[in-house]
Structure 1
Amino acid sequence: MVSKLHRNSSKIIHYTVNACLFPLCAAHGLAITTVEGVGKPNTGLHDIQKRLIESHALQCGFCTPGFVMSAFALLRNNPYPSRDDVERALEGNLCRCTGYRPILQAMEPFTKECCPMGEQCCKNQQQSDSQAPEDVNVGCQPTQVPIFPPELQTSSEYRKSVCFEGPSWSWASPTDLSELLTLKSKYPHAPVIMGNTTAALSIKLGKFNSSKILLYGGNIPALKEVCVVEGGVSFGAAVTLSELSQHLTQLKGEIKEGNKKHFPALEEMVGRYGADQIRNVATLSGSILSGRSNSDIITLFTALDASVCLASVNGERNVGIEGLSLQEMEVIKSVFIPNSDQDKFTQSMFFKQAQRRTFSLAIINCGMHVILSDTRTVEKLRICFGGIADKAVLARKTMDLAVGT
């Protein structure tokens, strides 16, 4: 579990990551908690670990640390999760021998639907919520919760730009967009690392061997900004899929009902994208630049006619996602998703066929966006398919044929 101090507030954020997708240099200024930090025999087990043992939810034990960490991070962020929250938090963990039923049953006492107090649950008592006993959720034991290191909260050293140099590669982590653009102009072939879910493979295959420097953009506030602008919403390039989901929930109260008809399609896409450990680090720009023909983001965003803002030391320009091509010194600054038309019937949908409902790449996916005229005929239609060619494809003939029907 990774914990960090939000740069624009004093809030501490906890999230799970796959260690193989999280470079060591990216951990600078962050607090890392492993399963040993949650509990161990000589210092005492956490209730999560105890429940797994008591529920016969482990056999070989190889997958157990992952389940423990996923559940622990969930309880740190949400002390009273629902069953659906638990299933979503654990869906990125694979178990080959125990089976998922006892693992899920072990987590039930932590959910708000199943109280460990039994008949003594405060829900069964004639009292207000304010009178609920503090120990209803057995997962919250202050003596076993790691404290976020005070030096990471008070020291400004961890919020400055930093560069690590090794025998083969260098890692530059700027904290300002202008500094990133300057570095990109100096090292035009250097990759900009965000979530590392795609770049790691490219580095391993030697795609960036000519640069020998990695530019990290995850600490730049300007790339995390989300703004409601004229005609739509602008999401920073470094916004993760998990953050996109959170922002969509918040934006529902800020945007007019008719302008957010495409939100359900976006939420469906996010819910089908990988698992929490991936959604917590995978970013919008990284997904767009992944080059995968079956990218869920590319497919749906193309259907929604989204565009990106490209920035360099020479200025900025806006281009559509379809056929996107960056010049050497450019980076993606933000992604613009237009509003739906509030005065007309508008419908957006996302479909995905994969080996599993979640935590699986698409075999084929599809994004659709249709606008009907006052006479209930098709005024505009955009259909994009992924996974059927070497890149996402707009069904132009079908789109043109449907107009007016």
Structure 2
Amino acid sequence: MGRQPAPPPTVSPDHTVRFLLDGEEVQCSGFAPTTTLLTWLRESRGRCGTKEGCAEGDCGACTVVVAEAVEGRIAWRSVNACIQLLATLHGKALYTVESLREPDGTLHPAQQAMIDCHASQCGFCTPGFVMSLFALYRNQSRADNDAVTDALSGNLCRCTGYRPIVDAAQRMYALPAPAEDADRRARETALYARLQALEGEADLVLAHAQGRYLAPRTLASFANCYADNPDATVLAGGTDIGLWITKHFRPLPLLLHLGRVRELAAIRQHDGALEIGAAVRLEDAFRALVAHYPDAAGLHRRFASLPIRNAGTLCGNIANGSPIGDSMPALIALGAEVVLHRAGQQRRLALEDLYLGYQQKALAAGEFVEAVRIPLPRAAGDVHFRAWKVSRRHDQDISAVFAGFALQYEDGRITRVRLAYGGMAATPRRAYATEAALLGRPFDAAALADARRALQQDFTPLSDVRASAEYRMRVAQNLLTRLQLETSGGARAASSLADLGDGGHASI
């Protein structure tokens, strides 16, 4: 492949991580690149309100809020400090539970509401809940129950119960606003300028005895760095790599972070497709997808938790290639393709062709996923799309089965069909035999029966701690039945499925 020369550097590489903590600039250097934000907060700053619970981004006891400058505004994001690497804070503003109290001791409404509603017992998880509520308070002037439960989807409490915590989420909006909110717009404008100045234009380069960390600023610089160092670990949101550090204690000699590359942070419509760059957060990516495919709303809300979606990226989920990665079956059903990049050269590949086997991908050395392209519907209702997740727990759980379906009809017959499943094989896969059983036919009882039989040709699922092979096959077949009821005019039958929500396991 040809090599795209990087433009001559205009500034020297930066060797110091700079960010704001409570509005004061912090400069960090000389630390191991695998240092997590949680470790730094507790051990270097004594901020012990941020707790370590699970150390894998599940319990929410470590939740903090990060503010960053994004397209002319300040984005406030709740994230898990236990799997957020300290180096990725460069150019951002950080807030912990200790940040919220005003100088005179007045508590933030999110804190005071927790007290007023008796929403804490043992208190271990309470700072994490407060920070999730603080992010909600910053992002929305009021919130309904759906917004509240979504904001708290990454926080677990086993002693208080959620009713008083949800009550506190509503109560905080009725309390007097913090003094700083009086000139909030001016404060955020000033914060935006400070963060842009901290971010700078230089590549970030950190060196330590335990490894190196490179965070290029441009696509050309990133691509050339990876071509020169194909054994580097590409870091996006860190929601998977963070566990390699906290759980597996894996050495990572070279981390190559793509989060500072402007070109990879874009969402755009181009040539009839929605193109989502590799640095786009899952939360932003799903919002863009749901705008065109409203039936992806269940996928959006049930993909992990809000703090995970605020950190992880859609292309990172794709590149990871897990057989239970929830995004891939839905995107495969929609006919998505990935844009692959190596040293200035691009190629496109159908998403289903990216996966060769368990944790095996059709990527050359130094090649990475630059973007994912999702075809847009030509008109409203043109594509009957469904994405259903079946898991033991509704929120923040790993799928037993995930199904993505896309159908098009003409004169009552199926003229185009793409069916994909996760959790049924070593990779996310299309159900080709099942598609063939449906193509060109009305989706009637006979076609459904043939499709259910054909699914057994497509998959031989395994049993594991999440589900047995028999359960997986039965669920996968029953999701076909649900698809037939919802898309073939069976209005009465479909209405009886309204209580299934997003494919809840109890009804399958």
TM-score tier, shorter chain, comes to: 0.7 to 0.9
Which runs of structure 2 are paired with 1:73-222 in the superposition (5 Å)? 73-110=135-172, 116=174, 138-142=176-180, 152-153=194-195, 155=197, 158-202=200-244, 205=248, 209=252, 212-222=253-263
Which of the residues 98, 117, 124 maps onto 1:36?
A: 98
Could you tell me how far apart the structure 1 residues matched to 2:82 and 2:439 are? Answer: 47
Cα offset for 1:318?
Answer: 0.2
Letter in 2 for 1:223: L
- Residues 189, 208 of structure 1: 8 Å contact kept: no
Which of the residues 292, 298, 306 maps onto 2:336?
A: 306
Which of the residues 232, 245, 248 maps onto 2:286?
A: 245
Could you tell me how far apart the structure 2 residues matched to 1:165 and 1:61 are? Answer: 39
**Paired position in structure 1 for 2:371:** 334
* Cα shift readout 1:21-60 (whole Å, capped 9, x = no counterpart): 2100001121110000012897232222122112111111
Cα offset for 1:141?
Answer: 3.7
Which segment is superposed worse, 77-86 or 335-344? 335-344
Which of the residues 256, 273, 276 maps onto 2:306?
A: 276
**Paired position in structure 2 for 1:400:** 436
Letter in 2 for 1:88: D
What percentage of aligned pairs have identical amino acids?
A: 30
Residue 14 in structure 1 maps to residue 44 in structure 2: no
Residue 358 in structure 1 maps to residue 404 in structure 2: no
* Cα shift readout 1:320-367 (whole Å, capped 9, x = no counterpart): 111312111111111100022439842000111112222111111100
Could you tell me how far apart the structure 2 residues matched to 1:94 and 1:84 are? Answer: 17
* Cα shift readout 1:99-119 (whole Å, capped 9, x = no counterpart): 1111111222245xxxx4xxx
Residue 318 in structure 1 maps to residue 348 in structure 2: yes
- Residues 46, 144 of structure 1: 8 Å contact kept: no
- Residues 190, 208 of structure 1: 8 Å contact kept: no
**Paired position in structure 1 for 2:270:** 229
- Structure 1 residue runs of 5 or longer lacking an equivalent are 117-136, 253-259
Q: 1:153 to 1:404 in 2, by over 3 A?
A: closer
Q: Which aligned segments of 4 or more residues in structure 1 are displaced greater than 4 angstroms?
A: 143-151, 202-209
Which segment is superposed worse, 294-303 or 77-86? 77-86
- Residues 276, 373 of structure 2: 8 Å contact kept: yes
**Paired position in structure 1 for 2:415:** 379
RMSD between aligned residues: 2.4
Could you tell me how far apart the structure 2 residues matched to 1:397 and 1:157 are? Answer: 51
Cα offset for 1:270?
Answer: 1.1
Q: 1:34 to 1:234 in 2, by over 3 A?
A: same
Could you tell me how far apart the structure 1 residues matched to 2:121 and 2:171 are? Answer: 21
Q: 1:205 to 1:61 in 2, by over 3 A?
A: closer
Could you tell me how far apart the structure 1 residues matched to 2:104 and 2:124 are? Answer: 20
Letter in 2 for 1:332: V
- Residues 416, 439 of structure 2: 8 Å contact kept: yes
- Secondary structure of 1:59's partner? coil
- Residues 91, 198 of structure 2: 8 Å contact kept: no
**Paired position in structure 2 for 1:121:** none
Letter in 1 for 2:113: R
**Paired position in structure 2 for 1:288:** 318
Q: 1:29 to 1:228 in 2, by over 3 A?
A: same
Q: 1:291 to 1:343 in 2, by over 3 A?
A: closer
- Secondary structure of 1:289's partner? helix
Could you tell me how far apart the structure 2 residues matched to 1:265 and 1:89 are? Answer: 21
- Structure 2 residue runs of 5 or longer lacking an equivalent are 1-64, 355-361, 442-508
Cα offset for 1:267?
Answer: 2.4
Letter in 1 for 2:281: T
**Paired position in structure 1 for 2:327:** 297
Could you tell me how far apart the structure 2 residues matched to 1:218 and 1:343 are? Answer: 34
- Residues 344, 372 of structure 1: 8 Å contact kept: no
Could you tell me how far apart the structure 2 residues matched to 1:279 and 1:380 are? Answer: 31
Could you tell me how far apart the structure 2 residues matched to 1:274 and 1:311 are? Answer: 28
Cα offset for 1:243?
Answer: 0.8
- Secondary structure of 1:245's partner? helix
Q: 1:216 to 1:343 in 2, by over 3 A?
A: closer
Could you tell me how far apart the structure 2 residues matched to 1:166 and 1:200 are? Answer: 18
Q: 1:387 to 1:60 in 2, by over 3 A?
A: same
Cα offset for 1:169?
Answer: 1.1
* Cα shift readout 1:81-136 (whole Å, capped 9, x = no counterpart): 2232112101210001111111111222245xxxx4xxxxxxxxxxxxxxxxxxxx
Q: 1:328 to 1:291 in 2, by over 3 A?
A: same
Cα offset for 1:377?
Answer: 0.6
* Cα shift readout 1:4-24 (whole Å, capped 9, x = no counterpart): 122x42x21111100122100
Which segment is superposed worse, 17-26 or 83-92? 83-92
- Residues 75, 139 of structure 1: 8 Å contact kept: no
Could you tell me how far apart the structure 2 residues matched to 1:334 and 1:388 are? Answer: 26
**Paired position in structure 1 for 2:129:** 67
- Residues 273, 376 of structure 2: 8 Å contact kept: yes
- Residues 59, 97 of structure 1: 8 Å contact kept: yes
